């Protein structure tokens, strides 16, 4: 008896300690700092609220029925021959159908409004950043500025950022939880992501897909500078670096597997480095040419420039 009492106390203390420790965790997805993140949080909470319309009554009824029809309750009505109720049938079918229809409508709308390939509406010209996932680090190339950095990128607050993403290794996933959803990086292909930070700060970026033994240390910092001038200062600091990526040989040295790679700046970058990285796996410029043509015709509207299986087989 005494042992059971101690086990109960220990269980309660363990539950309290777990709750206390979890209170120190920061739910980045629920505390977004950008337009896309805010819209995605709203979508998550809306979907959760709609599903709770079914979940909460089921939990309440389960507890209520278990208590009401317990063996010791002699007042409970015993009806062994009961088998059907039109009212119950109407409720258990109508409510879920309504919820599914609402969720389907929301999904249809947000699939288009939150399309990661869709440029953000803004009066400010976006900054283009080319992202390359390596083993086990992230390379960020600023094609218009002719600079690059490893495991750190910067952009001004309230300025859209247009990411062009690929991989020089296995498939990975580019993810800045406080700013928006993740998207895959794949060798020989290019994916897109458009984000914006509405508050200045340093935001953790991670790899959202397991990619080998160095995966856990494949993190980076996204710096949203408070002003354009602060961003220009960051650019000037990068340009002071003596390191360069002026040819593929220098890139190949950087691409060698390394764990917990420190932040590194490159003051000079081969102009078509991103294109050449993709070309390593395709042997031609088909993907980039298709992207350039689509961008010129559609003003960079959402498109899926990744080659499908038939394109792979034909080349």
**Arithmetic mean of pLDDT, 228-254:** 97
Residue 3 binned pLDDT confidence (cut-offs 50, 70, 90): low
pLDDT at 21: 64
CA distance 16 to 10: 10
Instruction: Write out pLDDT tens, residues 29-70.
Output: 788 999 999 999 999 999 999 999 999 999 999 999 899 888
pLDDT at 314: 37
Instruction: Write out pLDDT tens, residues 66-118.
Output: 998 888 888 888 888 888 899 989 998 999 999 999 999 999 999 999 999 99
DSSP state of 241: -
CA distance 192 to 112: 14
Q: Are 150 and 254 in contact (CB under 8 A)?
A: yes
Q: Counting beta carbons within 10 angstroms of the beta carbon of residue 136, is it exposed (0 to 12), middle (13 to 18) or buried (19 or more)?
A: buried
Sign of CA dihedral 245, 249, 250, 253: positive
pLDDT at 84: 87
Residue 300 confidence (pLDDT) above 50? no
Please report which helix (H) or strand (E) contains residue 205, including its range: strand 201-207
pLDDT at 308: 35
Residue 286 binned pLDDT confidence (cut-offs 50, 70, 90): low
Q: Which of 7-16, 130-139, 186-195 has the lowest mean pLDDT?
A: 7-16
Q: Are 216 and 208 in contact (CB under 8 A)?
A: no
The full 3-state SS of the chain, as one line of letters, equals: CHHHHHHHHHHHHHHHHHHHHHCCCCCHHHCCCCHHHHHHHHHHHHHHHHHHHHHHHHHHHHHHHHHHCCCCCCCCCCCCCCCCCHHHHHHHHHHHHHHHHHHHHHHHHHHHHCCCCCCCCCCCCCEEEEEEEECCEEEEEECCCCEEEECEEEEECCCCEEEEEEECCCCEEEECCCCCCCEEECECCCEEEEECCCCCEEEEEEECCCCCCCHHHCEEEEEEECCHHHHHHHHHHHHCCCCEECCHHHHHHHCCCCCCCCCEEECEECCCHHHHHHHHHHCCCHHHHHHHHHHHHHCCCCCCCCCCHHHHHHC
Q: Are 36 and 181 in contact (CB under 8 A)?
A: yes
pLDDT at 174: 97
**Arithmetic mean of pLDDT, 281-293:** 64
Residue 183 confidence (pLDDT) above 50? yes
Q: Which of 7-11, 18-22, 44-48 has the lowest mean pLDDT?
A: 18-22
pLDDT at 69: 86
Residue 5 confidence (pLDDT) above 90? no
Instruction: Write out pLDDT tens, residues 140-149.
Output: 999 999 999 9
- pLDDT cut 70: percent of the chain above it: 84
pLDDT at 285: 63
Sign of CA dihedral 244, 249, 252, 258: negative
Mean pLDDT taken over the chain: 87
**pTM to 2 decimal places:** 0.79
Residue 195 confidence (pLDDT) above 70? yes
pLDDT at 9: 72
């Amino acid at each position: 008896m005494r042992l059971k009492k101690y086990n109960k106390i220990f269980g309660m203390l363990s539950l309290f300690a777990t709750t206390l420790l979890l209170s120190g965790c920061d739910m980045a997805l629920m505390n977004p700092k950008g337009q896309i993140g805010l819209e995605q949080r709203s979508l998550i909470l809306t979907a959760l609220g709609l599903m709770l319309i079914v979940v909460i009554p089921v939990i309440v009824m389960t507890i209520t029925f278990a208590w009401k029809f317990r063996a010791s309750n002699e007042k409970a009505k015993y009806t062994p021959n009961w088998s059907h109720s039109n009212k119950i049938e109407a409720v258990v079918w109508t409510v879920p159908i309504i919820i599914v229809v609402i969720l389907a409508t929301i999904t249809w709308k947000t699939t288009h409004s939150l399309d990661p390939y869709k440029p953000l509406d803004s009066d400010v010209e976006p900054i283009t950043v080319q992202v390359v996932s390596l083993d086990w680090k992230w390379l960020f190339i600023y094609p218009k500025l002719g600079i690059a950095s490893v495991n750190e990128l910067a952009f001004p607050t309230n300025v859209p950022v247009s990411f062009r993403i690929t991989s020089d290794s296995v498939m990975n996933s580019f993810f800045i939880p406080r700013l928006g959803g993740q998207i895959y990086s794949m060798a020989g292909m290019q994916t897109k992501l458009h984000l914006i930070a509405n508050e200045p700060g340093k935001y953790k970026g991670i790899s959202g897909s397991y990619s080998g033994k160095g995966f856990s240390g494949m993190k980076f910092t996204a710096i949203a500078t408070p002003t354009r001038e602060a961003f220009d200062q960051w650019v000037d600091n990068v340009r002071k670096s003596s390191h360069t990526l002026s040819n593929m040989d220098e890139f190949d040295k950087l691409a060698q597997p390394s764990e917990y790679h420190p932040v590194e700046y490159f003051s000079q970058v081969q102009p078509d480095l991103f294109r050449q990285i993709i070309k390593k796996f395709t042997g031609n410029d088909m993907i980039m040419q298709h992207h350039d043509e689509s961008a010129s015709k559609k003003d960079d509207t959402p498109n899926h420039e990744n080659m499908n299986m038939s394109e792979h087989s034909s080349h």
